[in-house]
Structure 1
């Protein structure tokens, strides 16, 4: 998965939490961008009303991404080991929400 995706996680009380899952990519000289197996999870403020911009940047300038530790929308990171095993780094998603996100990423 190289593009961000939007999904709804079902919380323990039955309500939905809309999130954006952003793959962490690294630049490979020969193949362009490659997935690292890590995915950042953010709150989706607009739910299904927004559309993600997934076109590659036309500039080589570095972006000014806000560090995760001060981003109020950051919910954590899921990291896969390449064999369908995963670990969640964060404390805001329940175990069930983590499993839903990991399952969706694996299927995508």
Structure 2
């Protein structure tokens, strides 16, 4: 049996018995669609060096990140939320509430 066929068999699960429900499978499928960026991709997005992104992470001032098997990944939704939290209307007026800063214990 080819590995692709085995993979297809593993993915196909009926929505009855002890198997996950259709709703659970749909939720799992949506989770798999979450886009992740590497440190290099985030550096390119922000026009920064990878060393700067590493420093942000080390200092705890960047977006939340995942570390799986030693590889650092950033969820696109966390990056977009961080960018919204950093959005200013004028030099003294932040547009979005600073939820990211609040989560990290940073006070204004």
TM-score bracket relative to the smaller structure: under 0.3
Given the two structures, how large is their TM-score scaled by the length of structure 2? 0.24
Higher helix share: 2
Q: Greater CA radius of gyration, 1 or 2?
A: 2
Structure with the bigger RCO (C-alpha within 8 Å, sep 6+) is: 1
